[in-house]
Chain A
């Protein structure tokens, strides 16, 4: 089973600043990686798929990169609605999925 490890567990950022979230895979997942945002009491929202493709309606301040085992989600100019938990998800051995444990982005 592919294990995804996200870091840090919690990231404290001031509004307007940049947040950088990391996701590391225990083995290569190629470009089969997605990112989700989840706010309290809400369902997850797809942000990014295929490592770097933004889903429909996702603002350009969200960007992502990586390949193989190392991946990054960047959020530039953090806005109040961006404070949430972010999960990475791999689908390299589709249809089996695994998720990272999440990174909470909180207001500093």
Chain B
């Protein structure tokens, strides 16, 4: 069955960087794109960006451009999202999700990031 398993919770100080992983299984990794979505406490869903799992090209939301790096390792079917220059309002649950005809059919379990001094 399709699974997306994310790395564990992180606590970082402002200005630091964090790298979240999303290990996939149950399907051919390079056949589906991966999106990253975040959700601040008590708030709605916010799209962070997308990676073409096959070619490795990426697109991010304008507010994250220059601050987010998305990569993948096809040998281990894993996608990564690295967020730099962390601020307190980056505190959120970060999800990876597999693209399905433009929507998100499968989601990772989420990774809680707390940014605090």
**A residues touching B (Cβ–Cβ < 8 Å)?**
1, 32, 34, 36, 38, 43-46, 49-50, 55-56, 87, 89, 91, 94-102
CB-based contact A34/B45 at 8 Å: no
**B residues touching A (Cβ–Cβ < 8 Å)?**
33, 35, 37, 44-47, 50, 59, 61-62, 95, 99-105, 107-110
Q: How would you classify the secondary structure of chain A's contact residues: helix, strand, loop or mixed?
A: loop
CB-based contact B61/A46 at 8 Å: no
Q: Specify which chain B residues have a CB less than 8 angstroms from the CB of A1 in the assembled complex.
A: 62
Q: Specify which chain B residues have a CB less than 8 angstroms from the CB of A56 in the assembled complex.
A: 105
Q: Closest Cβ of chain A: how far from B70's Cβ, in Å?
A: 11
Docked Cα-Cα span, A1 to B62, in Å, equals 9
Q: How many A-B residue pairs have CB under 8 A?
A: 61
Docked Cα-Cα span, A43 to B61, in Å, equals 21
Using CB atoms, name the residue of chain B closest to A50: B101
Known contacts A96-B59, A97-B35; is-contact A44 B104 (Cβ 8 Å): yes
Q: List 9 A-B contacts (CB under 8 A).
A: A32-B102, A34-B103, A43-B110, A44-B107, A55-B105, A56-B105, A95-B59, A99-B37, A99-B44
